[in-house]
Amino acid sequence: MIREKSHAAVVRAKELMPGGVNSAARAFGAVGGEPIVIDRAEGAYLFDLDGNQYLDYIGSWGPMILGHRHPRVVAALTAAIERGTSYGAPTLAENELAELLIDAVASVEKVRLVNSGSEATMTAIRLARGYTGRDLIVKFAGNYHGHVDSLLVAAGSAAATLGAPDSQGVTTGAAKDTLIANYNDVGSISAIFAEHEERIAAVIFEPVVGNMGCVIPQHDFLAALRSLTREHGALLICDEVMTGFRVAYGGAQSLWPIDPDLTTLGKIAGGGMPLAALGGRGEIMDHILPAGKVFQAGTLSGNPIATAAGIATLRELQEHPPYERLEQLAARLAAGLQEAATEAGLPHTLARVGSMMTLFFHDQPVTDWDVAAQCDTQRYAQYFWGMMDRNVYLPCSQYEALFVSAAHTEDDIDRTVAAAKQTCQQIAQT
C-alpha cells in the first residue's frame, strides 16, 4: 500500500513535534512503523494523504459513535461558527449541554464543563481532596485517567503501551499520595482501606476498562468499591470518559449498580470536539470555585463550538438511540474476529461491552494488569499491520479498545472479518 505522502509528512512532523505527534497514543510505538497521516473522514471511513481508505475502528479513541461528519453535528457546528467561536463568557448552550449530561447520568446533579478528560479527572481528584480534607487517592494498575501527575502511576493506555506507566517528570511528591490497587481484586482494595482507613480521599476507576484493552469489572468488585468507600468516608469517582454514552446512553453506571459520588465524562460528550465534564452530587460539586473553595478554571471551557457538537451528538443519541444496532454489529464483529483467530490456531480471548471490545493475544481472560501484561504484543503488532494493509484501522496497541460506530454496516463488519481471517492465517504461517 502506497503511503509516501504520509511518510513525508511524518518525517517533517518529527522535526517539529516530539515523536511527530501531539499525543503519545498515536505514535504507533507499540506496533512499529509510522502513523498514517489522515486527510479526511466520512462515516465509518478514514482517508489518508495518499488516498487510501480505511474502515475506522478507533473513532478518534471513542468520540465518533455516530461516525465521522454526521450531518446533524456538521450542521450544528456550522451554525455555531456563524455566531462566533469563543467568548469567555456564559452561554445558553452550556446550560443546554449541562441539562443533557445531568439528565443522562442518574448520579450527576451538577457538572463543570472542561476541555479534556485529563482536566476532568484532575479536577475530580482536587475536588475529592478539598471536600474530604484528605490526601490519599487510590487508582488501579492499568487504568488510565489522562496525563495528570498524580494519576500517571501504573497507568494504562499510551503509558502502558510505551512502557512508561510511571512517567519521568512526575515527582515523588506528586505520586506519594497515590496508592495502586489491582483491578477486579477485592482483597487488594480492602487491604488498602484496612491500612489507610480514613486518610483516603477517593478511589478513581474505569467502570469498564478501555486502557489495558477492554477489561470487564466483576460485580463483587464494583460492589466492594462502593461499600468500602462509603464505610470509610472516601469518594467514589467513576471515570466514564470512555464508557459514558458508549456502553449505554447513561454510561456503565446505568448498566450496573455503581452509584458514584463523582463521574467524569468526555469523548462522545463533546462529539469529537475538545470537551469533557466533571459531574456529581450537588453538595459535593458546590465546593468548586466560585460556589466553594476548590479552584477550577479554563479559557475555553464550555466553548460554543464544542458545546454545539456535544449537544447535537447527545440529542441524536437520545432521539435515534443506536445501541441495539451497535450491539448487533459489535456481536457480529466479535464472533468473526474470534472465529478468525480460532481457525488460525492463534491463542486469544476477546472482551466486549456493547460497541467497545479488545481481541487479546493471550489464552487467558484478561481481568487485570498482571494478566494484560502477559499478552503477546508482538503478535498484536503483526495483527495490526496485517489489518491495516487490508484497509482496516485498529487501535495501535494491544492495550486499547476498538469501537464500532453507528455508521458501520453489516458489509463493513463482514469485510473486517474477512480481513481478519486472512491476517490470522498469515500470522500463523510466520
> Which of these ranges, 184-192, 197-205, 236-244, 296-304, lies near ligand KE4 under the rule CB under 6 A?
236-244
63 and 271 Cβ atoms separated by less than 8 Å: yes
CB of 195 to ligand KE4, least distance (A): 27
Q: Pairing state of beta strands 349-353 and 276-280?
A: unpaired
Residue nearest to ligand KE4 (CB): 117
User: How far lies 147's CA from each of 25, 150, 170, 264, 391, in Å?
Assistant: 11, 9, 10, 14, 31
Contact 113, 308 (CB under 8 A): no
Q: Does the active-site annotation cover 267?
A: yes
Q: How far apart are CA 319 and CA 252, in angstroms?
A: 20
Closest to ligand KE4 by CB, 114 or 201: 114
Enumerate residues 6+ apart whose C-beta is below 8 A from 169. Answer: none
Q: Is residue 423 a contact residue for ligand KE4 (CB under 6 A)?
A: no
Catalytic residue of the set 267, 368, 399, 412: 267
Per-residue contact flags (x/-) with ligand KE4 for residues 81 to 110, judged by CB under 6 A: ------------------------------
The CA distance from 55 to 392, in Å, is: 5
Total number of residues binding ligand KE4 (CB under 6 A)?
22
37, 137, 242, 334: residue in contact with ligand KE4 (rule CB under 6 A): 242
> Considering the rule CB under 6 A, would residue 206 count as an interface residue with ligand KE4?
yes
Q: Which of residues 148-167 bind ligand KE4 (CB under 6 A)?
A: 157-158
The gap between the terminal CA atoms of the chain, to the nearest Å, is: 20
Does 400 engage in binding with ligand KE4 (CB under 6 A)?
yes
20: its cell numbers: 511527530
| 297-321: burial string, b at 16+ Cβ within 10 Å, e else | eeebbbbbbbbbbbbbbbebbeeee
Q: What DSSP assignment string belongs to 207-269? A: SSB-BTB-BPPPHHHHHHHHHHHHHHT-EEEEE-TTTBTTTBTT-GGGTS----SEEEE-GGG
Verify binding: residue 18, ligand KE4, rule CB under 6 A: no
Q: Which stretch binds ligand KE4 (CB under 6 A): 117-125, 162-170, 188-196, 369-377?
A: 117-125
45, 131, 144, 403: residue in contact with ligand KE4 (rule CB under 6 A) = 144
Binding residue for ligand KE4, selected from 210, 271, 310, 354, defined by CB under 6 A: 210
Among 52, 91, 118, 423, binds ligand KE4 (CB under 6 A): 118
- Nearest Cα residue to 76 out of 96, 46, 56: 96
Is the CB of 148 or the CB of 424 nearer to ligand KE4?
148
Is 44 near ligand KE4 (CB under 6 A)?
A: no
* DSSP per-residue codes, 281-336: -HHHHTTBTTTSSB----TTTT-HHHHHHHHHHHHHHHHS--HHHHHHHHHHHHHH
Q: Which of residues 275-334 bind ligand KE4 (CB under 6 A)?
A: 276
Residues making up the chain, counted from first to last: 430
Question: Which of 68, 112, 134, 145: binder of ligand KE4 (CB under 6 A)?
Answer: 145
Give catalytic status of residue 239 as yes or no. yes
Residue 121 or 424: the one with the smaller Cβ distance to ligand KE4 is: 121
Told to check if 412 binds ligand KE4 by CB under 6 A, we report no
- 53 binds ligand KE4 per the rule CB under 6 A: no
Residue 178 β-bridge partners = 137
Angle, vertex CA 249, rays to CA 247 and CA 251, nearest 5: 55
Can you give the binding site for ligand KE4, defined by CB under 6 A? 23, 25-26, 61, 116-118, 121, 144-146, 157-158, 206, 210-211, 239, 241-242, 266, 276, 400
Active site residues: 144, 239, 267
